[in-house]
Chain A
């Protein structure tokens, strides 16, 4: 079962922590909002991804297991 990153765009307020903590997977757009690479995370990045998700001040960065529909 693979895990992917996803942003809740309603909750996100462009603090930019995710891009600081996980530049491998997150870049920022023209307005400071994250552009997330949503391919399955390799094991080496999982811990970093979890840390980035926990560090988000609005808890808008989500680590999701694959689900149907």
Chain B
């Protein structure tokens, strides 16, 4: 397995970007085979202007379909590159493009930078510092699917992304390069708001909550038009693939997971933040690039709060590719890599996140509303030592009960997080069940959660009892 996963530019959370590897002033548009790719040319003074962006990456040679009704050549290029969605689900981007392009009616492109995942910062970072790369990708995708409108969705609680997106859209308007009408939409900050159908529902004037599918957005999306919902990072990769081609893209990564990816590294490292890695890079190389460990890690959470834990003893061998992570029951997902230090209480952290996940249910599907609440209560009981013995089995059973029972994947993710925590932290859970809270339980909390916790989007009112709910 490749271990050359060079970690490129990193920037600290507070936006004070700091170059790590100089990129040595190549000519504009010349493709660097190695890293950084997306983060190339970052200068540490905030947003990259359109002029700077073009001097780093060059113009895109737009490949239009020669005739109407003929597929855009970009779709085949993206397919050869093997680009997959970077929002978490990893769906092949070319398949999505093709579905939208083939659907009846004028399409819409939705740039998804909502990033409701509390431990992820990559999309907001992209929007804040490199908006033109994302907008290039959105315009190219719009051309490929025949869309005449782009909606850029950023989280309403992240002013930096908003400001940067406004400036960038305006810059492109003035520069005449913008061929597709582009506007900004601020979406609520709760966890499921960035889910594809929730975003489409919100943009159509409804609440930012998932809807029952079908219809999928490509069939009937925003204003009933075929809609391509694509993660911001995915579009940024697409912008570079359109410039440099599929072979270039595949020079990094593994055959099954080509290219690079943005990851958000948090926890006990010297410089937590957003990094660009090569798929197949070792975790060790990433941690080294982040200045090394500051205290011994107990475990690593991969993929976010719907993801899986890997125990600390296994971390030296961890390789950041889905092929390798599958053995640990994990996928890279949206690139969240959250180290938990051994000083923190893994049980209290699990309980806190489990409760947060329950609160983030949009309150629509019974198994999610009642199931996640019951799971969170079970974990809290285990943490406080109220219940012992069969309580852990009960939580595991409930986690199995909620899987695939919601309109979206939220219950599945929450169940995965909790079951994985129960396995990885089995000794700690057993210790708490018998002896009650430990000294570290209340000392501090490490896993990032938004504060204060945003209330669930739609009504606790509806969770008042299955049989007493309003009929619609």
Contacts and interface: CB of A to CB of B under 8 A. Distances in A.
Nearest to B219: A69
Contacts of B443: none
A9 B467 contact: no
A33 B212 contact: no
A9 B216 contact: no
B404 to A, nearest CB: 9
Contact of A13 (B370, B371, B405, B471): B471
Nearest to A8: B212
B318 to A, nearest CB: 32
B405 A10 contact: no
A17 to B, nearest CB: 12
A32 B131 CA distance: 48
Contacts of B211: 10
A66 B215 CA distance: 14
Given A30-B401, A58-B471, A11 B212 contact: yes
A14 B212 contact: no
B182 to A, nearest CB: 28
A50 to B, nearest CB: 20
B364 A13 contact: no
B405 A35 contact: yes
Contacts of B34: none
A13 B466 contact: yes
B406 interface: yes
Contact of A31 (B212, B407, B466): B466
Nearest to B210: A10
Contact of B216 (A7, A32, A69): A69
Interface string A2-23: 0000011111111100000000
B385 interface: no
B401 A10 contact: no
A29 interface: yes
20 contacts: A9-B212, A9-B365, A9-B367, A9-B405, A9-B406, A10-B212, A10-B364, A12-B366, A13-B366, A13-B471, A30-B374, A30-B398, A31-B367, A31-B370, A31-B371, A32-B366, A32-B467, A33-B405, A33-B466, A57-B471
